[in-house]
Each structure stands twice: as C-alpha cells, then as structure tokens.
Amino acid sequence: MSQETRVAPRVTPSDASNRVTLGWSHRLLRRPDFAAAVAAAVILVFFLVVAPSFRSPDSIFTVLYQSSTIGIVAVAVGMLMIGGEFDLSAGVMVTTAGLVNALFSYYLGVNLIIGAVISLLFCLAIGFLNGYLVMRTGIPSFLITLGSFFVLQGANLGVTKLVSGAVSSPDISKMGGFGVLSSFFAGSFVVGGVTVWNTVIFWILFVAISGWVLQRTRVGNWIYAVGGNAASARAVGVPVRRVKIGLFMTVSFLSWFVGMHSLYRFNTLQAGNGVGNEFLYIIAAVVGGTLMTGGYGNALGVAIGAFIFGMTSLGIVFAGWDPNWFRTFLGVMLVLAVLMNLYIKKLSTTRKVG
Amino acid sequence: MSDTSTDNTSISTSVPLVQMTDVGKSYGAVRAIKGINLTVRAGEVTCVLGDNGAGKSTLIKIMAGLHNHNEGTMSISGVETTFASPRDALGAGIATVYQDLAVVGLMETWRNFFLGAELVGSKLPFSGLRVREMKEIADEELRKMGVVVKDIDQPIGTLSGGQRQCVAIARAVYFGAKVLILDEPTAALGVKQSGVVLKYTAAARDAGLGVVFITHNPHHAYMVGDHFIILKLGQTVLDKRRDEVELDELTRQMAGGDELTELSHELKALGGMTNAIRTLDADLNIK
Amino acid sequence: MHLTSPRRLAIVGASAAALALMLSACSSGGAQSTASSSGSSCKGTTYTISMVTHEAPGDTFWDKIRAGAETAAKNECVKLVYSADPAADKQAQLIQTAVDSKVDGIATTLATPDPLAGSVKAATAAGIPVVAFNSGIDAYKKLGALEYFGSDETLAGQTVGDRLTADGIKHPLCVIQAAGSVALEARCAGVKAKNSGTENIQVNGSDDSAVVSSIQAKLTQDPSIDAIVTLGAPIAMDALKSKTAANSKATLVTFDLNVDAAQAIKDGKIEFSVDQQPYVQGYMAVTALYLYLKNGNDLGGGGPVLTGPSYVDKTNIDKILPFAKNNTR
C-alpha cells in the first residue's frame, strides 16, 4: 500500500492545496482499531457459524452485557493508557466502591443514595491519590497502583470483616433508595422480546463520550500528547500533571460506576471479588489497539477489545466447548493483537515522505 | 488566535527583547553559569556557542521558564522578569524549539502544530476543536515556510528531521513568538537538511523575530549570526558582534583555543599521527 | 517519538520487573495470620493451637470455619493462631512456622496432601499432634494426622447425583467456580458418577456478572439442561439470576449454605443444599486437639469423622434458617 502513496499524482504548484490524498487503505490501516475490528468480525462470524445458539438476539445481548461490565471500566483504562499510565487498582476498586456504599449505608442507617455519593467521593479521592503520587514521585504508575491494588484488596476484606463480621456486605435490598439506584445502575428493559441491560446503553454512551473527548477536544489532544511524549507536551504548555491526575480520576469514576452496578444487581458483594479484572481492562485496551507505551489508541478500539473479550468468553460456552480453554484463547488473542498492532504501527509510521 | 503575523513594523533597536545582565545559576553547590550578559534584539540572530557542559542548556532553560536564575537580572522588553513556568515564557512571546523539537511523533502534523494552543469552539471544558480550520492553517503556515507535507494528517514522526524542525519553527512564528530560541537545530541533521533549517532561521529573523541560536558548530553560526557568545564552563569567553569577529576566531575558540594548541604541540612531540595533527593545526590556524 | 530511547526501555524494563513482582506477589497473596486469645473468663491459656487453612481471602465459607474454631478456643481457654494461604507451598511454610514456634497442636486442611506432607511429618516428628479437617480424607492417615473432621466430597457429590437421578433429572450442569481445585472437581465427579448426563462448566467465581452471564449462556445454548448444581452458596445466588434471564426451568441445587441460600431454600427457589457444616469442622478440630492434649482422648474410632453431607431442604429449613443467620450453620 506504500506504493499507492508514491505513485499518487503530484498537484500542480498553482493548485490551492499542495496536499495529496493518501489511499483509503493506508488511512484505514492507520486506525488503531483496524486490527481489532477485523479480529472481532472474524470471531463473530466464526461463532455464528459454529454455535447455533449464538445466533439469537438474546444471546448477542447477553454477550453485550458481559462486554459492558468489562468495557465500561476499560473505556477509562484505555484513555489512561493512551495518556501513558497504568492502573492496576481498577479491578478491586469496583468492589471497594460497592462495599463502601453498602457498609456505610447499612451500618449508619442512611439512605443508599447518600452512601453512593460517599462512595463516589471516596473513589475519586483514591484516583486523585494514585495520580498525585505518580506525578509527584515519578515512580512508574505500574508500581504505585500495584500498591493501591494491594491496599484496597486488603482493606476490602479487613474493613468488611471488621464492620460486618463476615467477608461479604450485608443485603441492602430492603433499604431506602434501593429502588431508584437499582433501576438506574442495574436496570434492564425489553425491546422486541430482547432484554437489554442499562449497562450496555451506558457503555455505548461512555465510549461515545470518550471518542469525542479524545478526537475532538483540546483535552483529548493533551491526553495523546502526555502519553506520546510528556516532556514535549510540558514544553509547549500542556498541563501534564493535571491531565494525568484527571485520567486516574476518570478510571476511578467508571470503576465506581461498575461497582454500583454489581452492588445493585447482586444486593450483596463478596469482599474478595474483582481481583484479576484489572488485567481484563488492560487486555481489552491492548487488543483494541492501544499502545502499551502510550500516545496511541482510540475509544472505539477499546470497546471492540471488550466486545472480543465478551464474545469469546461466552462464545465458547455457546459453542458447548470446555470453557477451561478460555484463558488460553485470551492469551493467544492478546499476543496476536500486540504483534498486529506493532506491525501496523510500523507500516503506518514508516517514513514515506522525504 | 486569528492574529497570526508577527508585528513587523515595531522593530525597535532601542529596547532589547531580552536583556540578561550578570545572570548566574547554581544547582545546590554546583554553579552552572555565572555572569552571563546576553542581548536579544528584534531582527537579529544571537548565537550562543559552547561545548557540551558549557552551560548552554541552563541558559535556555532560564529564558524558557523551566528554571529560575538566582543571580543577576533578566529583562523582557525592558521589564525585569522571572518566569514561573514555560507557559509564562510563552505568554511573554518567548518560544523555544528544543533539540527533541517538543513534538509528539505519533500525533498528526496539524495536531502537533496546535498542541497546547488548540482552537476550540467555546470556552467550555469539552467543547469541540475547530479541526478543519486548524488543518487549513497548519497547511498554509507550513507552505509559507516552503514546507510541503504530503498529508497534514500524517504522524509528524514520519516527516524528515529538517521538516520536523521547520514545523516547530513555523509553529513558534505563527503563535506570535517575538523571541525564538533554537536549541542545536542542526545537530542531528545532514548537510542538506541543515541548510534548509538555516534558511528558515534566516526567514524567521527577516520576519522580525529575535532569534537565539544555540549550537556548537561555528560554521552554521557564522552563516546566520549577528552576534556571537561563546560559553566555557559556565562563563563567557567571547562576546562579539559579527563585524568584530572572523569565522577563524570562532572556530579556534570553539575548538578549545589555547588548550588545544598546547595539546597539539604535545602530540607533535610524541610523534606519529602527523596527518591528523596537521588537520587539527589547519583547523586551529596554527602557523 | 523515541521508542528505543534508554529511558523508554528503562520504563518498559521496570514495568516487566513490576509485572514479575506482582505475579509472584499474587501467588503468595492471601497469607494472613491472626491470633485470637481466649475470652475474659479464662485465667491464662491452657494450650496454643495453630490452625492453618488454604482459605482464599474473601470467601464466606471460611468465616464459618473460623467462627467455629474461635468459639471452641474461647470455651476451652485455648490460644488459637489462625493463618491461611491458598498456595500449597505457602501453606506448607505456614505449618512449618507453627512447628518452629513450638505450638501445642496443629489443625490443618489437606487440600493438597503431597506438598504439605513434609511439613506435617515435621510436626509429628517434633511431637506436635496434628488434626486434619475440611479436606484430605484420603490422605490424612498416611501423613500422620490423628483425626479428620470433614465431609467426603466424592460421597457428597454422589448423594447429589443419586437424588437428582431419583427426581428424574437427565442433564445436570455442574458449575465449578475456581479452576484446578481438587475438592470441587471431586464433587462434580461424584455427581457424574451417579448421573451420567452431568456436564461441567468453569466460571470466574470472583466476578458475579461473569458467573451470571456464563451460566445464562450455557442455559441458552443447551435448553436440555434440567438441573444446575453449584458448589458454593454465593454461586447459587448468581445461578438464580441466570435462570431468570435465560427463562430456564432447571432445578437448582447447591453445596454449602449461607443466609441468602437458606432463605432461597425456604422460598423454594433452591431445591436443596448439601451442607458440610464448616462451623462444626472448625469447632471440632480445635476441640479434638484440646481433648487429646488434656486427656489423650481420641475421636472417630480410627476413621474420619464426617460432618457432611447433611441435607438442607424444605423439610428442615425452618429449623436451620436461624442458625444460618447466626453464622453457625
């Protein structure tokens, strides 16, 4: 495809624009989500062929639901990775969010809505702390958030045990505010006989917002810049510290959101849950074309990454295969995605113009 | 941001754009520079020469607002100033093009052009970028400088070193810089690319900007410079106008001056490598 | 963009190192140790007993074991030191630590007998009595443990299989919530032994949404599934949601109990539970050691003391529900 750009006719000097239009294949290949989209299409067709029960709209929406619980947090994790940082605490923070809400409201006897707000503030504070420590100390975010991962994992168990005497949160379904919150965070509606969970709608909404912010706003420009080259970004006046702290807080916001969903769908939460999900978010982002080193990726790609995750995790079940192989499949997908991304990035950024 | 052109009419020789008087800077116990006097005037190129570790970077960082000086004074257009951040310096019209060019390789050329000063629809935090306008302006400004990129959407990392340098210069000029600091712009470039960059440096000077040209190549400096300062170990060893100095003297001072002459004699006494020493002598004008 | 600059490499290197660190930390995660001294009614403690389990942090099941053990310790004025780690080598290390600190008795689970054998033998060699509980029914004697308190997982599975077959169930789905657990595999194998239509499914037990979706997907894929067997009470609650979502009429049965599951049995949503009475396991392990140390008593007549399988269904739930709420059943 590099040939196309070379043989493109040169415009005459009198032309108003000296630009030439590059071939559509080149433009398409340059999209971070291209490889993921192709992979998703292949996997989708594959499961449609081999798993008859996959073909119903119900099944597709079950897959979308499963994808959305990973995908919502992955939206923020992807943005954070584009901004050049990691957050390993996102998985347990989902559980933390639910526990804070449940324990606070249950044991102080306050309305769940107030508990949810307290939980939100708490999560945002942790996100801020993550970002602040990373920016202040210069220690890689990998290590800082690994620290907060362990702190939260321990505190989830310790505090829950201390307050409730058990390692799961009390049932909150009889408390004030439950109806409103559960119909918002964990509601579903039926369209044409198909159950659609609210989280799927929220997921699409968050992906759209993230896409808009990344591609079409000043903040988005800054996110790519701080991830691609923080020193350069700082030199041209981008407030690197504020952008990165904001990204960490976005992750904690969406972790809170999914935490609310888990709490209000299941009424109680096991304090040990959520561990390991942080990797699923990162995998979704990477499979979706986000560069591990930052500065490259987009919202749609991350969404496709989460969709691939949901599709394979349930597709194997729909096909009636032994789900023990799922993780193996996931690992292979990840490696292929990374290789594909590397190849495509090389292809699209090699110098073609002298 | 629609006011794109620098003000050509108000070139004034009376008030320098930047005036540094006896400026010094210590990092803890280490004194990086001391007693530096430097004047930047509109429409002039001031060359700062020096070997690695001579204090050039420290000098730039003070002007660019990354560090503060702790001795002497710095006046911007006659007003004594200490910058709090790079944003401050930019606000005062001092733009710096660093060696790494402060561009983000994976981002599109037009996004790089406007990075940190994007055109937005409104003051709201997440209002849309005026993408089409930004692309058009970036393309036009680049063509003004004679740089034609095939596609303004291509990642800037795919441009050649000289082109990237020119994008960085064009960006500074467009955003109304009065003073342009170029940090070793030709260091990593081949002969032809260097020539291109020197041409744009001259173009920026002719557009009425005050240019600070940092380099360790006296040949490049002499081609565009109006004023030359040579730093050594944080202090000024030469400070002359173009009509007071010859290229030979710059070369000799840069190459190490008397010290190197001495070294050359010592090597001669040891014998061998005569060709190399002869070349060195020629460079140093030792007769 | 300097992808290969030394700094960038350094960051990548550091990240890789951190990943390695984290992976090793993950596998060692969950080591915990708490000492609960006897209640205020005791004048000094009689013995120090160390309890070591393979508890994965955050499972409600282990709460009951600990509650039983702590009550026994309080009643008998025993100082109880509890520690746990799901990784076999770490658990062996914890037993070794107990031996080194010269406790009077050790109560341990034997989910992974082979890696633990060395430490258990070290304890018996040092003259410290060892009692096994919860898991290891086939191995405890060989390792030199005195007694065993727990359920026979295979037997429990077979009982479930028998009962399902008797109810005319043709195609049960056995849900395994943790990969590679011998005890959980044994339960499902037991079910399959008595009901050959049994199919296993692996789910991610640490993510409720994933559990619900996976079971739901399976029910949609195979409408012939007429029973769901879950191996833990929280998973049963998730399976209820899957059933509703998939519009399935499958019978739901579960292993173990918690308050929600007990309530669901009362409401008729769960057919029955096969309980192994973890509270009793913890209580008896500590008590047996106490009796052995004090009087040389021996329980079980040379065989294992079974705490299960114990049926909980509509017929006896009214009696059991209050105890479940009390965390003692």
What does the DSSP assignment read for B204-224? Answer: HHHTT-EEEEEES-HHHHHHH
Contact yes or no for A20 and B157 at CB 8 A: no
Predicted local distance difference test score (pLDDT) of residue A140: 93
Neighbours of C121 (CB within 10 A): 14
CA distance B40 to A334: 55
Predicted local distance difference test score (pLDDT) of residue A51: 85
Neighbours of A137 (CB within 10 A): 10
Q: What is the pTM of this model?
A: 0.76
Burial C236-254 (b: 16+ CB within 10 A, else e): bbbbbbbbebbebebbbbb
Q: What is the DSSP letter of C184?
A: H
Structure tokens of C199? 């199919």
Predicted local distance difference test score (pLDDT) of residue B76: 87
Structure tokens of B212? 């600070």
B101 in Cβ contact with B164 (< 8 Å): yes
Predicted local distance difference test score (pLDDT) of residue C212: 93
Cβ-nearest to C218 among A69, A310, A317: A317
Contact yes or no for B139 and A354 at CB 8 A: no
Chain A residues with CB under 8 Å of B163 CB are 353
Q: How far is CA C185 from CA A316, A321, C111, C169, in A?
A: 20, 17, 12, 20
Residue C278 pLDDT grade (very low, low, confident, very high; cuts 50, 70, 90):
very high
Interface of C with A in 67-86 (CB under 8 A): none
Residue B240 pLDDT grade (very low, low, confident, very high; cuts 50, 70, 90):
confident
Say which residue, B110 or A317, is predicted with more confidence.
B110
Chain B residues with CB under 8 Å of C1 CB are 104-106, 157
Q: How far is CA B68 from CA A83, A133, A150, B84, B86, in A?
A: 29, 25, 40, 8, 11
E-assigned strand segments in chain C:
32-36, 48-53, 79-84, 105-109, 130-133, 148-150, 172-176, 199-202, 227-230, 251-255, 272-275, 305-306, 310-313
A125 pLDDT above the threshold of 80: yes
A56 within some domain:
yes
Predicted local distance difference test score (pLDDT) of residue A326: 77
CA distance C200 to C208: 18
Say which residue, B3 or A172, is predicted with more confidence.
A172
Say which residue, B41 or B279, is predicted with more confidence.
B41
CATH number where C133 lies: 3.40.50.2300
Say which residue, A3 or C164, is predicted with more confidence.
C164
The structural domain count of chain A equals 1
Predicted local distance difference test score (pLDDT) of residue B166: 82
Of A81-85, B33-37, B126-130, the range with the highest mean pLDDT is: A81-85
B134 pLDDT above the threshold of 60: yes
Q: In this prediction, what percent of chain C has a pLDDT beyond 70?
A: 86
**What average pLDDT does the segment A243-262 reach?**
96
- Please provide the DSSP assignment of C29-93 as one string: TT-EEEEE---TT-SS-S-EEEEEE-PPTT-HHHHHHHHHHHHHHHHTT-EEEEEE-SSHHHHHH
Tell me the three state secondary structure of residue B229: strand
**What average pLDDT does the segment B84-90 reach?**
82
Contact yes or no for B64 and A353 at CB 8 A: no
B8 pLDDT above the threshold of 70: no
Predicted local distance difference test score (pLDDT) of residue C27: 38
Contact yes or no for A272 and C63 at CB 8 A: no
B186 pLDDT above the threshold of 90: no
Interface of B with C in 144-183 (CB under 8 A): 157
- Please provide the DSSP assignment of C269-298 as one string: SS-EEEE--HHHHHHHHHHHHHHHHHH---
A188 pLDDT above the threshold of 60: yes
Average confidence score pLDDT of chain A: 86
Of A199-208, B54-63, B122-131, C296-305, the range with the highest mean pLDDT is: A199-208
Cβ-nearest to A18 among B103, B148, B159: B148
**Residue among A21, A219, A229 with most chain B CBs within 10 A, to mutate:** A229
Say whether both C160 and C102 belong to one domain.
no
Say whether both C110 and C212 belong to one domain.
no
3-state secondary structure A115-162: HHHHHHHHHHHHHHHHHHHHHHHCCCHHHHHHHHHHHHHHHHHHHHHH
Say whether both C188 and C132 belong to one domain.
no
A132 pLDDT above the threshold of 50: yes
Say which residue, B170 or A87, is predicted with more confidence.
A87
pLDDT tens string A85-120: 999 999 999 999 999 999 999 999 999 999 999 999
Instruction: Give me the residue spans of the domains in chain B.
Output: 18-249, 257-287
Q: In this prediction, what percent of chain A has a pLDDT beyond 70?
A: 89
Helices (H) and strands (E) in chain C, counts: 12, 13
Q: How far is CA C322 from CA C71, C232, C241, C258, C318, in A?
A: 18, 19, 25, 11, 8
A13 within some domain:
no
**What average pLDDT does the segment A33-50 reach?**
88
B10 pLDDT above the threshold of 80: no
Say whether both C208 and C293 belong to one domain.
no
C287 pLDDT above the threshold of 50: yes
Query: Which residue, among A229, A261, A320, A209, has the nearest Cα to C241 in the 3D structure?
Result: A261
Residues 6+ apart with CB under 8 A from C303: none
Reported ipTM: the value is 0.78
A43 pLDDT above the threshold of 70: yes
Pairing assessment for the beta strands C305-306 and C148-150 based on DSSP bridges: parallel
C305 within some domain:
no
Residue C89 pLDDT grade (very low, low, confident, very high; cuts 50, 70, 90):
confident
Pairing assessment for the beta strands C310-313 and C272-275 based on DSSP bridges: antiparallel
Predicted local distance difference test score (pLDDT) of residue B276: 62
CA distance A306 to A295: 20
**What average pLDDT does the segment B228-243 reach?**
85
Average confidence score pLDDT of chain C: 83
**What average pLDDT does the segment A190-219 reach?**
93
A131 within some domain:
yes
Domain of C246, in residue numbers: 153-275+314-325
Chain C residues with CB under 8 Å of B164 CB are none
Say whether both C254 and C289 belong to one domain.
no
Predicted local distance difference test score (pLDDT) of residue A18: 44
B139–A contact, CB cutoff 8 A: yes
The structural domain count of chain C equals 2
Predicted local distance difference test score (pLDDT) of residue C71: 93
pLDDT tens string C169-197: 999 999 998 776 777 888 899 999 999 99
B263 in Cβ contact with B270 (< 8 Å): no
B76 in Cβ contact with B94 (< 8 Å): yes
Predicted local distance difference test score (pLDDT) of residue A84: 94
Chain A residues with CB under 8 Å of B158 CB are 349-353
A271 pLDDT above the threshold of 50: yes
B270–A contact, CB cutoff 8 A: no
Chains contacting chain C through 3 or more C-beta pairs under 8 A? A, B
- CA dihedral for B236, B239, B245, B247, sign (positive or negative): positive
Q: What are phi and psi of A292, to 5 degrees?
A: -60, -30
Residues 6+ apart with CB under 8 A from C241: A265, A266, C212, C216
C129 in Cβ contact with C159 (< 8 Å): no
C300–A contact, CB cutoff 8 A: no
Predicted local distance difference test score (pLDDT) of residue A39: 86
B6 pLDDT above the threshold of 70: no
Predicted local distance difference test score (pLDDT) of residue B282: 64
Rg (CA), chain A: 22
C15 within some domain:
no
Residue B259 pLDDT grade (very low, low, confident, very high; cuts 50, 70, 90):
low
**What average pLDDT does the segment A280-309 reach?**
92
**What average pLDDT does the segment B117-143 reach?**
85
B3 pLDDT above the threshold of 80: no
**What average pLDDT does the segment C103-110 reach?**
93
Neighbours of B200 (CB within 10 A): 21
pLDDT tens string C4-22: 444 444 444 444 444 444 4
Cβ-nearest to C221 among A277, A295, A320: A320
CATH number where A115 lies: 1.10.3470
pLDDT tens string A201-210: 999 999 999 9
A261 in Cβ contact with A206 (< 8 Å): no
Say whether both C184 and C269 belong to one domain.
yes
Cβ-nearest to A272 among C19, C206, C209: C206
Q: Which CATH architecture has domain B18-249?
A: 3-Layer(aba) Sandwich (3.40)
Residue in chain A lying closest to C206 (CA):
A273
Predicted local distance difference test score (pLDDT) of residue B233: 84
C4 within some domain:
no
